[in-house]
Structure formats: C-alpha cells, structure tokens
C-alpha cells in the first residue's frame, strides 16, 4: 500500500484537453445547423440532444482515462499505470529515453498545467511513449533535477530577423488556407458572377479593388488567398520559433522556443539518427543554411522539434553544429552524381510543363474565363520553373561522402536540399538500385534507411556504382 501511494495522478487539465476536440466539433455542427443550414426547432433540439449524449459518453471515457492513469518517477526509471478496459503497467529506464519534451500553450498555462512527453527508440513515430500533464511546479522540479548535474554550454541564440527569415522560407500557404475559408467561398461566388456577367469588374467587393485594376476578379481573389494564407502561415511559424535558443547540457541538446506557448526539448546526443544541414533554393540565393536533428523513433506527427540552428551563414552553422553535436563539417572524400545525368533529376519538372500549357489552351473551352486561365498558366509556369531550377541545384550538390566516423548523404526531399551526417551504427539498411538504363551506364541510386520518420532519409541518384560500393565498404555497409 505504501508503494501505491507514491504514484501520482495526471493534472486535471488532461480531461479538458481530451474533451476539447469533441466540444469544438459539436459546436461547429450546431452553428452550421443554426446559421448555415437553418432547420426547424424540433430538428435542432433533437440534434442538441444527440450531441449532449455524445458529450456525456465522451466525458465518462475521459474521466475513466484520468482516474486510471498514474505515474511514478524514481532516480532510475518512470513507472506508468494506464488503461480503462485493460490495465497496463510499463516501466521506462532513464538510460533508454532519447527525448523529453516540456510543452505548454496559453490554455494549459491558465490552468497551471504543462505537458511532459517522453520518447524512446522503440516508440511509434506517431505518438510519444508517455505523454501526460503535470502542474507547472512539478514540471519545473523535474527540469531542475535534470539540469542540476550540468551547466548550459555552447548556447546558440539567433537574432529575431533570422527567425523571421526562416519563417518566410518554411511557410506553406496550405496551412493558412484553413483560417480563410470564407474567402474561398467568396471565390466561388465571383467565378459564378464572372461567367454570367462580363461586367463583373464593377460589382466585386472593394477589398479586391486594387488587384482588379490589373487582372480578372478570380485572379485577384486567388492572389489574395495565396498572400493571406502565406502571411498567416508565416506568423504561425514565427510564433512557434520566437525566443528560440539551443544549447548543450551534459549528454543532451536542449531546444527552447515558442510564444505565447513554450516548448523545451531535451534530446540525447547518443540517440541521434542524423544531424542535417537544410537549404532551400531561396536560402541558397541568400547564402543561408539551417541545422536540424533527426531522432531515433521520431516522426513529424509528434511535432517539429529538431531545429537547433536557424537560417544563418554557412560558417556560423557549421561552427555551432560542431559545438553542439561534436560533428565536423569537413568532408574527407566525396562522390557526386555522374556527369551528364542531369536529365534523371529534371524529367518530372519537364513533364510538368504540360500543366501551364494546358491552362493556356483552356480558354478555347471557357472563353469567358480567358484572363483567369492565363493567370493560372503564369502561376503554374512560375512554380514549375522554380521546381526545375531546384532540381538542377540538387543535381549539382547531390553526393555521398565520408567524415571521420560519419557517413554523409546529400540529397533532396521535396523542395529542400538536405545533407545528413549519420553514424554508421544508426543505419538500418542501405539499398543500391539500378534501372535497365543504369546497368548499361554503370550508374545507380543509393537509398539510406534510418529509424525515424518512415525510415527512408533520401535518395542520391545517378552515382557511379563501383565507386559508391567502394566508399560504402569503408564503413562496412556493403
């Protein structure tokens, strides 16, 4: 009995956290019935009754989870008891923990709670091994207990302008679109008006008046959607990384970021899958790079917590990377893509040139949307050309190399050139593939698999096969 008293319950805010998504969905459903699709009073009352039963059922389940979740922390490991229908007891030794994340947003701070998440190499890439809310005081005690053994060193604290530039590089307009759904609905109305009325320019809203002086109303609305969504996405990214700093703390790298929420991440250096140098095409034009960590067992669904150096000049990034991780950027030996093999990198963008051509020819079928089709053709042409230039940039930089006790793999992923510094013992699999045409030319593609985020890091295409095998044999990977 005395042993059971040592277990603690999760902070009550965990109940609200589990209920929040369900309550939001119910409120949106009710507002839709009242405002968007008005129904009779009996239908609304019936819907509210069903929603109330749903809330009661989910509340009972959330309370059951809360009452059955308990944890205990001792100097050697974390003990957890959980489960509603099936009781589970599991124990996590501190030596096997690779990541600890302390996170609180504005709502949890108001209720005096902070989420503590623990990850191990055996964990799922979709969720943490253990994640629970604790009081702010208890979370601070846990952090101070871990920090008392060492003092922060090698602190990296970028300037605010660097964070702003990084937010601009990383922002995705799709993220901001969810906040401007009314604008998208307005776009549909304008399309209908433009098809029905050639004089729609005089009847559009004043908010698009500036753009409509130069282009069609639909094109003006599209530009506004892109700019607004990109701006919203950039602000969200900036708020996520403002107050950013990283530093070395004993065997951990600590990442501190966020406002008004705050995230503090402790990553064990010995459990790193790779250290990465990232560079987009725009960053290349500005001569900037950033540095991120890939942790064993981690994935994007757990949240972006890997950046340790924001967009900065190359010398600064490589110097801080060495101070924080102990990895030198110097490459002793490199093997680049074979000459005259650029076509394998750019054939997809070349095929994509058919998209702007298709938009340019679409006005024959939709003569009333001539200007809109022309605008879409210009936008898609710009995107494809940007993609084409990036693939050429990737071809010129793609390579594998050696660096003391690390394998260096430089390839592209989406629209980012990423150079990975990987310890050979963290590599799960090396795959060398050849197509029919590559067999004749003696070239190959090299894929490296590491246990994080779907395992595959990147592909380096069109390497000389014999030289690639010779280089990989030095680390006994082939």
Confidence band (pLDDT; 50, 70, 90) for 472? Answer: confident
For the stretch 173-176, contacts whose Cβ atoms lie closer than 8 Å and that sit 24 or more positions apart, written own/partner, are 173/225, 173/226, 173/229, 173/230, 173/233, 174/229, 174/233, 175/229, 175/232, 175/233, 175/236, 176/228, 176/229, 176/230, 176/231, 176/232, 176/233, 176/236
41-68 vs 13-31: helix crossing angle, rounded to 10: 170
Q: What are phi and psi of 405, to 5 degrees?
A: -105, 25
> Which pair of tokens denotes residue 303?
């949240």
Kindly tell me if the per-residue pLDDT of 69 is higher than 90: no
Kindly tell me if the per-residue pLDDT of 433 is higher than 60: yes
> Which pair of tokens denotes residue 211?
């753009």
> Chain-centre distance of CA 312, in angstroms?
20
Indicate the domain borders of the chain: 1-93, 163-241, 343-394
DSSP helix, strand, coil percent of the chain (3-state; round to 5) = 50, 25, 25
CA distances from 276 to 273, 327, 365 (A): 10, 11, 48
Taking phi over 0 as left and psi of -120 to 50 as alpha, with beta for the rest, 315 belongs to: alpha
Query: HEC states along 71-107?
Result: EEECCCEEEEEECCCCCEEEEEEHHHCCEEEEEECHH
Give me the mean pLDDT over the 131-154 stretch. 80
Per-residue confidence (pLDDT) for residue 213, from 0 to 100: 53
Per-residue confidence (pLDDT) for residue 23, from 0 to 100: 62
> Which pair of tokens denotes residue 325?
């991780």
Confidence band (pLDDT; 50, 70, 90) for 199? Answer: very low
Kindly tell me if the per-residue pLDDT of 45 is higher than 60: no
String of DSSP letters for 141-156: HHHHHHHTTS--EEEE
In this structure, the number of other CB atoms found within 10 A of the CB of residue 64 comes to 13
Eight-class DSSP state of 166:
H
Render pLDDT for 201-250 as a digit per residue (tens, 0 to 9).
444 444 444 555 556 666 666 777 777 777 777 888 888 888 999 999 88
Question: Model's pTM, two decimal places?
Answer: 0.80
Which of 200, 206, 196 has its CA nearest to residue 218?
A: 200
Per-residue confidence (pLDDT) for residue 464, from 0 to 100: 92
Render pLDDT for 446-455 as a digit per residue (tens, 0 to 9).
988 887 655 5
Render pLDDT for 307-364 as a digit per residue (tens, 0 to 9).
899 888 999 999 999 999 999 988 888 999 988 899 999 999 999 999 888 888 887 7
Which of 282, 172, 283 has its CA nearest to residue 232?
A: 172
> Which pair of tokens denotes residue 419?
């150079």
- Determine which of 122-131, 214-223, 287-296, 413-422 has the lowest per-residue pLDDT on average: 214-223
Per-residue confidence (pLDDT) for residue 230, from 0 to 100: 76
Alpha carbons within 13 angstroms on the beta-carbon side of residue 376 total 16
CA distances from 71 to 9, 74, 251, 309 (A): 7, 10, 25, 34
> Which pair of tokens denotes residue 459?
């592909």
Kindly tell me if the per-residue pLDDT of 8 is higher than 50: yes
Of the two residues 316 and 51, the one the predictor is more confident about is 316
- 456: β partners: 449
Query: HEC states along 19-43?
Result: HHHHHHHHHHHHHHHHHHCCCCHHH
Render pLDDT for 92-138 as a digit per residue (tens, 0 to 9).
888 888 888 899 988 888 889 999 888 887 766 667 888 888 888 88
Cis ω before 260 (30° cut-off from 0) = yes
Residues 134 and 206: their CA atoms lie apart, in Å, by: 50
Q: How far is the first Cα of the chain from the last one, in angstroms, to the nearest whole number? A: 56
Give me the mean pLDDT over the 65-94 stretch. 82
Per-residue confidence (pLDDT) for residue 174, from 0 to 100: 45
Per-residue confidence (pLDDT) for residue 2, from 0 to 100: 46
Per-residue confidence (pLDDT) for residue 201, from 0 to 100: 45
Percent of the chain predicted with pLDDT > 90: 19
């Amino acid at each position: 009995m005395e042993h059971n008293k040592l277990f603690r319950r999760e902070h009550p805010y965990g109940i609200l956290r589990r209920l929040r998504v369900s309550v939001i969905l119910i409120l949106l459903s009710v507002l839709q019935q009242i405002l968007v699709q008005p129904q009779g009073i009996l239908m609304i009352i019936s819907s509210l009754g069903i929603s109330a039963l749903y809330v009661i059922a989910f509340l009972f389940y959330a309370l059951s989870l809360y009452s059955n979740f308990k944890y205990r922390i001792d100097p050697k490991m974390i003990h957890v008891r959980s489960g509603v229908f099936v009781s589970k007891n599991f124990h996590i030794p501190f030596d096997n923990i690779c990541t600890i994340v302390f996170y609180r947003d504005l709502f949890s701070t108001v209720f005096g709670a902070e989420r503590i998440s623990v990850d191990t190499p055996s964990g799922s890439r979709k969720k943490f091994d253990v994640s629970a809310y604790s009081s702010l005081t208890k979370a601070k005690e846990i952090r101070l207990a871990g920090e008392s053994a060492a003092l922060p060193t090698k602190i990296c604290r970028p300037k605010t302008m660097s964070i702003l530039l990084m937010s601009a590089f990383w922002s995705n307009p799709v993220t901001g679109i969810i906040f401007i759904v009314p604008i998208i609905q307005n776009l549909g109305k304008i399309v209908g008006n433009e098809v029905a009325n050639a004089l729609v320019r005089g009847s559009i809203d004043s908010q698009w008046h500036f753009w409509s002086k130069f282009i069609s109303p639909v094109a003006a609305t599209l530009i506004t959607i892109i700019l607004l969504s990109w701006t919203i996405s950039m602000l969200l990214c900036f708020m996520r990384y403002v107050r950013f700093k990283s530093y070395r703390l004993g065997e951990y790298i600590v990442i501190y970021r966020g406002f008004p929420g705050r995230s503090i991440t402790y990553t064990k250096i010995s459990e790193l899958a790779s250290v990465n140098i990232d560079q987009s095409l725009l960053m290349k034009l500005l001569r900037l790079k950033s540095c991120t960590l890939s942790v064993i067992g981690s994935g994007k669904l757990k949240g972006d917590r890997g950046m340790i150096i924001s967009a900065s000049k190359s010398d600064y990034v490589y110097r801080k990377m060495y101070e924080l991780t102990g990895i030198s950027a110097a490459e002793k030996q490199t093997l680049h893509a074979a000459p005259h093999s650029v076509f394998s990198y750019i054939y997809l963008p070349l095929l994509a040139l058919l998209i702007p051509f298709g938009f340019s020819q679409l006005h024959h079928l939709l003569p009333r949307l001539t200007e809109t089709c022309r605008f879409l053709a210009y936008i898609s042409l710009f995107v494809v050309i940007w993609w084409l230039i990036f693939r050429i940039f990737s071809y010129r930089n793609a390579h594998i190399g050696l660096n003391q006790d690390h394998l260096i793999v430089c390839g592209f992923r989406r629209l980012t050139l990423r150079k990975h510094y990987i310890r050979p013992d963290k590599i799960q699999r090396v795959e060398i593939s050849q197509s029919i045409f590559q067999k004749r030319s003696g070239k190959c593609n090299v894929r490296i698999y590491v246990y994080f985020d779907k395992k595959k890091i990147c592909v380096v295409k069109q390497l000389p096969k014999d030289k690639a095998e010779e280089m990989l044999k030095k680390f006994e990977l082939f």
